[in-house]
Structure 1
Amino acid sequence: MINGRDPRIDFFRGLALIFIFWDHVPGNPFAQLTVRNYGFSDAAEIFVFLAGYAAVLAYGRIALRDGFVVACVRILRRAWVLYVVHIFLLTLLMGIVFVANNHVETRDMIQEMGLSYFVRNPQQALADELLLRFKPNLTDPLPLYILLLLALPLILPWMLRRTEYVVGLSVALYLMVPLFGWNLSAYEGGVWYFNPVAWQLLFVLGGACAIRGQRPSAPQPRPLKQQPLFIVCATYVVISGLITLSWKWPGLHEMLIPKAISDLLYPISKTDLSPARLLHFLALAYCAAKLLPTGQAWLNNWPAQQTCRMGRYSLEVFCLSVLLAPLADMANALAGDTWPMQVFTALLGLGLMMLMASGLELNKRLGTPGRVVAV
Structure 2
Amino acid sequence: MIIQGRDQRIDFFRGLALIFIFWDHIPHNPLAELTVRNFGFSDAAEIFVFLAGYAAVLAYGKIGQRDGFLLAGIKILRRAWVLYVVHIFLLAVLMGIVFFANNHVETRDLVQEMGLQYFLSNPQQALTDELLLRFKPNLMDPLPLYILLLLGLPLVLPLLLRKTAYVVGASLLLYLGAPYWNLAAQEGGVWFFNPMAWQFLFVLGGAASVQAQRNIGSGQRARWRQPLFIGAALYIVLTGVLALSWKWPQLHDAWMPLWLGEHLYPISKTNLSPVRLLHFLALAYVVAKIVPHTDWLNRGLARHTCRMGRYSLEVFCLGVILAPLADMLNALGGDTFAMKLFSALLGVGIMAILATWLDWYKRLGKQAPTASSR
State if a TM-score over 0.5 links the two structures: yes
Deviation at 1:289, TM superposition (A): 0.6
Instruction: Determine the structure 2 residue equivalent to 1:330.
Output: 328
Secondary structure at the residue paired with 2:27? coil
Change (3 A) 1:362 1:218: closer
Secondary structure at the residue paired with 2:214? coil
Deviation at 1:110, TM superposition (A): 0.5
Q: Does 1:275 align with 2:274?
A: yes
Q: In structure 2, how many angstroms separate the alpha carbons of the residues matched to 1:187 and 1:29?
A: 32
Deviation at 1:370, TM superposition (A): 5.0
Report the count of equivalent residues. Answer: 366
Q: In structure 1, how many angstroms separate the alpha carbons of the residues matched to 2:23 and 2:363?
A: 30
Instruction: Determine the structure 2 residue equivalent to 1:309.
Output: 307
Change (3 A) 1:249 1:5: same
Contact kept, 8 Å, 1:246 with 1:252, in 2: the verdict is yes
Q: Deviations over 1:107-148 (max 9, x none)?
A: 111111010100001111001000000011001000000000
Deviation at 1:304, TM superposition (A): 0.3
Q: In structure 2, how many angstroms separate the alpha carbons of the residues matched to 1:330 and 1:220?
A: 48
Instruction: Determine the structure 2 residue equivalent to 1:261.
Output: 260
Q: In structure 1, how many angstroms separate the alpha carbons of the residues matched to 2:178 and 2:347?
A: 37
Secondary structure at the residue paired with 2:161? helix
Deviation at 1:247, TM superposition (A): 0.3
1:362 aligned to which of 348, 351, 360: 360
TM-score in terms of structure 1 length: 0.95
Instruction: Determine the structure 1 residue equivalent to 2:112.
Output: 111
Q: In structure 2, how many angstroms separate the alpha carbons of the residues matched to 1:100 and 1:83?
A: 26
Deviation at 1:215, TM superposition (A): 1.4
2:317 aligned to which of 305, 316, 319: 319
Give 1:231's aligned amino acid. I
Q: In structure 1, how many angstroms separate the alpha carbons of the residues matched to 2:176 and 2:119?
A: 34
Deviation at 1:256, TM superposition (A): 2.2
Q: In structure 1, how many angstroms separate the alpha carbons of the residues matched to 2:197 and 2:223?
A: 35
Q: In structure 1, how many angstroms separate the alpha carbons of the residues matched to 2:171 and 2:256?
A: 32
Instruction: Determine the structure 2 residue equivalent to 1:123.
Output: 124
Change (3 A) 1:221 1:44: closer
Q: In structure 2, how many angstroms separate the alpha carbons of the residues matched to 1:199 and 1:332?
A: 33
Instruction: Determine the structure 1 residue equivalent to 2:288.
Output: 289
Q: Deviations over 1:47-86 (max 9, x none)?
A: 0000000000000000000001100110000000000000
Equivalence map 1:1-375=2 (5 Å):
1-178=2-179, 181-216=180-215, 218=220, 227-293=226-292, 295-369=293-367
Secondary structure at the residue paired with 2:268? coil
Deviation at 1:335, TM superposition (A): 1.2
Moved over 6 A (4+): none
Instruction: Determine the structure 1 residue equivalent to 2:372.
Output: none
Q: Deviations over 1:283-330 (max 9, x none)?
A: 00000011112x322313211000000000000000000000000000
Secondary structure at the residue paired with 1:94? helix
Q: In structure 1, how many angstroms separate the alpha carbons of the residues matched to 2:35 and 2:223?
A: 34
Secondary structure at the residue paired with 2:366? coil
Q: In structure 2, how many angstroms separate the alpha carbons of the residues matched to 1:123 and 1:220?
A: 54
Contact kept, 8 Å, 1:7 with 1:296, in 2: the verdict is no
Secondary structure at the residue paired with 2:247? coil
Deviation at 1:220, TM superposition (A): 7.0
Deviation at 1:221, TM superposition (A): 7.2
TM-score in terms of structure 2 length: 0.96
Change (3 A) 1:219 1:310: closer
Deviation at 1:218, TM superposition (A): 4.4
More displaced stretch, 250-259 vs 82-91: 250-259
Q: In structure 1, how many angstroms separate the alpha carbons of the residues matched to 2:244 and 2:84?
A: 38
Q: In structure 2, how many angstroms separate the alpha carbons of the residues matched to 1:183 and 1:96?
A: 30
Contact kept, 8 Å, 1:183 with 1:192, in 2: the verdict is yes
Q: In structure 1, how many angstroms separate the alpha carbons of the residues matched to 2:309 and 2:191?
A: 26
Q: In structure 2, how many angstroms separate the alpha carbons of the residues matched to 1:191 and 1:255?
A: 35
Contact kept, 8 Å, 1:41 with 1:277, in 2: the verdict is yes
Deviation at 1:369, TM superposition (A): 3.7
Q: In structure 2, how many angstroms separate the alpha carbons of the residues matched to 1:125 and 1:251?
A: 42
Deviation at 1:235, TM superposition (A): 0.4
Change (3 A) 1:220 1:91: closer
Give 2:38's aligned amino acid. N
Give 2:170's aligned amino acid. L
Deviation at 1:347, TM superposition (A): 0.7
Q: Deviations over 1:335-364 (max 9, x none)?
A: 111111001100110110000001101111
Give 2:311's aligned amino acid. Y
Change (3 A) 1:370 1:117: closer
Structure 1 unaligned blocks of 5 or more = none
